[in-house]
Amino acid sequence: MHAKHPNFVCRLPGIRVRCLFQREPQSEQIEELKLNLDTLWIDMEQLQMVLVWRGRIKSEGLAEDTVFLTVQEELGCPPRPIESYRDIFLEHAKQQDMSDLEAAVAEEDAATAGES
């Protein structure tokens, strides 16, 4: 275990993690991928706890560039309606589109520089 901490006591953070996505990029509908907290791992050397939430989704019919957004909420409060995340989701999707565009431009620039 740990030389300085023979008894390690911790508690879960009391959060709900949610994953939102759009099945169709042009769609107005935001869906939720149900997540389950299924792994708790403790690194005793670093005195760090890692939690992993997992969800399953069929990839059939999903666009290759599907954008996912994870959010967290207080577990003691009722879940917010998915619709309340619309603006945050759309801003996140827009940022993802821009980073994809920047990566494509950088790749094209690298290819052009390689031709010289």
Question: What three-state secondary structure class fits 69?
Answer: strand
- For 43-92, the pLDDT digits (tens) are 888 888 899 999 999 988 888 888 899 999 999 999 999 999 999 998 88
The mean predicted confidence, pLDDT, of the chain is: 86
Sign for the CA dihedral angle at 45, 46, 51, 54 comes to negative
Nearest to 71 by CA among 55, 89, 59: 89
C-alpha span between 64 and 88 (Å, rounded): 21
User: Is this prediction's pTM over 0.95?
Assistant: no
State residue 103's pLDDT score.
Answer: 65
Residue 101 pLDDT level (bands cut at 50, 70, 90):
low
C-alpha span between 38 and 40 (Å, rounded): 7
pLDDT at 110 over 90: no
Q: For the residues 100-104, what does the mean pLDDT come to?
A: 62
Residues in the chain: 116
State residue 1's pLDDT score.
Answer: 66
State residue 62's pLDDT score.
Answer: 86
Nearest to 47 by CA among 10, 86, 14, 22: 10
